[in-house]
A and B are shown apart, each in its own frame.
Chain A
Amino acid sequence: MAKLKLPTPSEALDRVRETEVWKSIFRPGSIFRRGYRDTSRDRALATMNNVLYHLHPVKMKRHGLKLTYTFCLGGLSFFLFILLTITGIYLMFFYRPAAELGSAQAYTDMQNIRTSVFFGDLVRNLHRWGAHLMVFSVTLHMARVFYTGSYKPPREFNWVVGVLLLFLTLGLSFTGYLLPWDQLAVWAVTVGTSLAGYSPLIAKQANFLLLGGVIVGPDTLLRWYVLHVLALPFVLVIFLSVHFWRIRKDGGISGPL
């Protein structure tokens, strides 16, 4: 009877790399096919055979690495968006946007998230503070782009997309503000929408559309919930894709000054 010989870890890894499944996942030239050596070629291949290639080119201008040029603000805004998506999905498991008089389910769910949901309090805090931080970082990102003159040709259109993204970020933050359904949320939204309700001719219609009624009520909550978790993120992701695509097409990072 032949003795069973276990393969060493490196042999096992080599065998796994030879399998059809592994080869189907990693493209030819991927660093996961043949192993990575720190050469110029493998550094290029690491980006090129990676889904990251949609975001980053293989090579970039050296000055773009300087922290004081971008302060990483655009990237951090995107990171915060991802973080907010993840924490938001978690919160969605425990939240119902119902606020009928007498039994405000939304508020009860908020209390449960704070007290009985596993890590619920931390995730909610992350979501809330992250959202404020994102509004802040997107605004700062816009200022950075302005001061470096990065909106100049050929990047004019990408600046316009960026202004839209700022608007959508504010919209996302504002719609999310209502969801806890406490005094702070409802009255901040009441004040906020009354600001927007001063349209010259369509004031009443605009406000009715926004609130789903004449005051902030259960219909508003449902409406803003759908906007917050579905409609606005959907639109934002589309414009975000255009934004990133144009960065690459317009020649990568701008500058140097």
Chain B
Amino acid sequence: MARDDTPLDQETFDRVLAEELGKGVDRRVAEGRARSAAVRAARAKSGEAPSVTPVAAATPAGDGDGGAAPAAAPSPAPAAAVPAAVAAAPVAAAPVPVGAPAATLTAPERQAPPPSGNVPEPKKGAPEKHRLLALVPPEGIQRVEREQGDRINVWPHLLIEEFVAMMIVLAALTIFATFVNAPLRELANPNLTPNPSKAPWYFLGLQELLRYFHPMVAGVLFAPTLVLLALAVAPFVDRNPSIKPGDRKIAITLFTMLIMFGAVLTIIGSFFRGTGYNWVWPWAQGVFFEL
């Protein structure tokens, strides 16, 4: 039924609206309450179901907790749509007078037949439509546990941010690439070892480590295998469920030590090693490092 078709009792509407506004209720809420009171009043006048609890009428079955149903309900059965329980009471889309059991059964024209369980035959000449009707037991209703939270649209907020970040990096990189040339030395010569010869910068920590440990330890057993393996299994070792930094002191300390260890070794290997891979001070003897 469209909203405009609902008969309103103007007197009640004005009175309740004034009352609600007097209580300091928001105008939209007040109008809604006044409208609902006015509809009830109009129905009472025209001799329909006398006193109706609007909440129970609007959601006779939807509320699983039954909190909205008045205490005077005929039986303490769960408010969900259990056919047997509903069969005794009138079922209709229109106001169901659950609230007043005595007056309930005095609305014969709204009474629906009790469910028989038979599949109804389609009407003759009715259009062929697929219909699906199901009764869902209350325990079958899945409640969404996840909180909706404070969410925003990806477009435009995130996409604009990503685009700006991309453009900044692209611009910086282009400017850098315009003014700084990538190195290209003379043709490779297998008989002429440059001094010093260094690995690419991300392996220089490893090369530095080889100065201190036996190659077997530093080269394969220690650095790549162990570090990569340790990183890969980190989530299965660290079973602490909290993500608050205050609760993760050990994890954060260990990881920071690993990062620092790698960074210090890489920096030493990059800038503090010169001819013959011997120690140099970059400000004194210069930098022996190429990207």
Contact surface of A with B, Cβ cutoff 8 Å: 40, 43-44, 46-47, 52, 56-65, 67, 72, 75-76, 79-80, 83, 99, 104, 107, 110-111, 114, 121-122, 124-126, 128-130, 132-133, 135, 142-143, 146-153, 155-156, 159-160, 163-164, 167, 170, 173-174, 177, 180-188, 190-192, 195-200, 215-217, 254-255, 257
Contact = CB atoms under 8 A, between A and B. Distances in A.
B162 A75 contact: yes
A47 B182 contact: no
Is chain A's binding surface mostly helix, strand, loop or mixed?
helix
25 contacts: A58-B153, A59-B154, A60-B151, A60-B154, A60-B158, A65-B152, A72-B165, A76-B165, A114-B184, A122-B178, A125-B178, A126-B173, A128-B291, A129-B176, A156-B236, A159-B234, A182-B183, A182-B185, A182-B187, A184-B185, A186-B188, A186-B190, A190-B197, A197-B219, A257-B243
A203 to B, nearest CB: 8
A95 B219 CA distance: 33
Interface of B: 149-159, 161-162, 165-166, 169-170, 173-174, 176-178, 180-190, 192-194, 197-203, 206-207, 210, 215-216, 218-221, 224, 228, 231-232, 234-236, 238, 240-245, 248, 251-252, 255, 259, 290-291
A59 B146 CA distance: 14
Nearest to B177: A125
A121 B182 CA distance: 9
A195 B185 CA distance: 23
Given A129-B173, A174-B200, A191-B197, A47 B153 contact: yes
Contacts of A129: 173, 176-177, 180, 182, 291
A170 B177 contact: no
B278 to A, nearest CB: 16
Contacts of A76: 165-166, 169
B200 A177 contact: yes
Contact of B161 (A72, A124, A133, A167): A72
B182 A125 contact: yes
A187 to B, nearest CB: 4
A121 B200 contact: no
Contact of B232 (A52, A160, A173, A198): A160
B158 A64 contact: yes
Contact of A104 (B188, B194, B243, B290): B188
A188 B197 contact: yes
Which 9 interchain pairs have the tightest Cβ spacing? A198-B219, A149-B243, A125-B177, A156-B235, A128-B182, A186-B188, A192-B199, A72-B165, A187-B197
Given A62-B151, A183-B187, 4 more contacts: A143-B259, A155-B235, A164-B232, A198-B218
Contacts of A122: 174, 177-178
A140 B218 CA distance: 24
Contacts of A52: 159
Contacts of B291: 128-129, 132
Contacts of B200: 173-174, 177, 188, 192
Nearest to A76: B169
A82 to B, nearest CB: 9
A195 B202 CA distance: 13
A72 B169 CA distance: 11
B162 A72 contact: yes
B158 A200 contact: no
Contact of A199 (B188, B197, B220): B220
